[in-house]
Each structure stands twice: as C-alpha cells, then as structure tokens.
Chains A and B, each alone.
Chain A
C-alpha cells in the first residue's frame, strides 16, 4: 500500500521542529556522537540519543513505541557492516529495520521517517551529518501523523 501521508513542507510550516530519536550502538554511533561533541561540531538539537548495547538489541517494539510516544523520525545507527562488536548484530538490525519500514507502509505511514545508518566510532563529523540530514528530511515530511501528544486513548496492561 502507498503511504497516505500528505503533509508537505509548506503545510508543516517553518516553525516545525521535529523530535528525532536516535538509537545508537554503544560501540560506534554513540561514541561518534560523543566525538562530534568533542570536535565541537554542531548538529541539530532535534536528535535525542538513546544508547543501546548493539543495534542487534533493537526490537521493532522500541521503534513503534518511540513513534507512539510522539517521535517524528527515528535513526538507527550501528557499526559499519563487517565491524559489529557482536559479529552480526548490525546485519540483524538491517533486516529488522527493513521489516519495520514494511510494517509502517502497511498502515499508511511514510517509511522515510525511519532510517538506518552505519558508521564507526571515529566518524564524529559523519554523525553530525546524519543528524542534519535526518532533521532536514523530517522537516520536509512534516509532523508525524500520530501527533506529538501521548496517546491517551491507550490503556496498556502493566505487567
């Protein structure tokens, strides 16, 4: 099914500041983000980093929960292919992100709101570039069709 989202850059307005969640692998992207800071590189403050032990730990549920809680875009950032600290966690994540994109399309959400990147811990400037790229992309896409507000109609079973 084709995405049903129709929000354009013009509709979104110039004031729209997206919330972007970046799930960053401890061994590469998280260190790269740290390096970007040490290098005094500036990147959009829209990107909120969540450190995970490996992108292979990323469950599709984390991605959907972030969207449900109001994220406009999600970055999954793992090690370069062939360099995973846990051998193939990033390759597992690659397939999982592709599947999550497929599921997002199935409900009519633009799958460009989710993207996976691969970089090493030495790539501080690349991290800043990714953060900028994704922020620009989501600004063009406009706010998430789910809205910023927490879904108060939902009652989850707390176990």
Chain B
C-alpha cells in the first residue's frame, strides 16, 4: 500500500485558516489502512482545526467526507457539490489523490493534508516499512524475494558494501542490511550460487529517470 503521515497541525492550519469554509476529504483505501487519512482521521483533523480556530477567534466552517478512493474519477464525481460549496479542499490522501481532486476542480484550491511516504507493508499495527520503490522493472527473482533497490540505502545491485556490519546498515544501527538479508535467504533456499551472477547496471528509464510514467492497456481502454 501507499503509506503516508499527517502533516503537522500547524502546517495544515496555516493552509486552512486562509479560508472561511473548507472541505476535508479522506480516502478509504491505503491511507485508511495506515491510519493517516481515513474517516476517523478526517473527524479528528476537523475537530482539531475547529478547536484551534475557536481558540484563535477565527471563523472557520468545515465539511467532512471520506470517499472510497481519491485516485479514481467516479468517486470524486460524487462529491462535486460539496467541493463547490467550499473555498478550499484539504485532501488527506496520497499525492495522487490530492492531485486528481485538483485536476477535477480547476477553480478550487486544493491543499495536501498528508506527506506521502512510501510503498510498504504493515509490519505490525503502528509500524510500517518500505518495501518497493516502483522502479518499473522488478528483479527480486534474482535476490531471494528481497528488493535491494528499496531496502539498500545505496540501491546496490551487487552488494553488500563495506558499510554492512553485523547484518546492519551503516546509515542506522536499526536498519537491516538488505544484502545480508538476501544472503541469508538465498542460503536458506540453497541458492547461494545465484550470487555468483553479476547483475548488470540497471536500466532506470523504467523508473523515475524516464519521466512521469503511464500504463496503457488497449484491451481495457475506452
């Protein structure tokens, strides 16, 4: 899922308090799962902003709505009337959701309520970890199912580097060395010989280096 964290309340208030009436739009998908922008978080944020506005004697009306997904047109279409009523929208979704709302309502100011962080997994409730960088050319078949692009600080394809010590990365003693994990897993699988294969330099054009990416499926396209 896409993980995100809520921006500091002062930063959000700085955006919201420029207006008299705002709409906070939550997203029922990834950011609900990581407790950043779901229905409850929208209610909490609205309460905090209302309380802060009242303490500072500001006039602020807040509407709240949480839709299924902010990255799909059909769900955003349903809140058009609410968006029109508001002076500005605070989107508590990932950057994709916030941008689609901005794109759908060109005359409306849209602010981000979250800092979108990474593609990751829930390790346990309250702890999320990065696992994928969306490089566009997955190679974990060669690395025991562990991604060195997302999990090695240097994105090394033929690691580890000299900074690996006792299975930890030199950037942080709590960060596991991705290449130690790869070695351990390949050993467990009896595939250590695959480490003899040198992975060639990666073609990064499938990643961000090729500019904004687009997927087109002719069979599905309307």
Contacts and interface: CB of A to CB of B under 8 A. Distances in A.
A6 to B, nearest CB: 11
A108 B57 CA distance: 13
Contacts of A106: 8-10, 48
Given A106-B8, A108-B55, A155 B48 contact: no
Contacts of A108: 52, 55
B54 interface: yes
Interface stretch (B59-67, B168-176, B184-192): B59-67
A116 B43 CA distance: 22
Interface string A142-156: 000111000101111
Contact of A157 (B10, B51, B64): B64
A61 B40 contact: yes
B40 A59 contact: yes
A145 B60 CA distance: 16
B82 A64 contact: no
A109 B51 contact: yes
B51 to A, nearest CB: 6
A146 B63 CA distance: 19
Interface residues of A, number: 23
B142 interface: no
A117 to B, nearest CB: 23
B47 A157 contact: no
Contacts of B10: 1, 106
Mostly helix, strand, loop or mixed at chain B's interface?
A: helix
Nearest to A159: B65
B65 A61 contact: no
A84 B52 CA distance: 34
A58 to B, nearest CB: 12
Mostly helix, strand, loop or mixed at chain A's interface?
A: loop
Contact of A68 (B9, B40, B50, B60): B50
Contacts of B55: 4, 107-109, 145-146
Contact of B50 (A4, A59, A103, A151): A151
B165 interface: no
Contacts of B54: 145-147, 151, 153
A40 interface: no
B201 to A, nearest CB: 46
Interface string A101-122: 0010011110000000000000
Interface in A13-72: 59-61, 64-65, 67-68
7 contacts: A1-B10, A4-B55, A106-B8, A107-B13, A108-B55, A151-B50, A153-B54
Interface of A: 1, 4, 59-61, 64-65, 67-68, 103, 106-109, 145-147, 151, 153-157
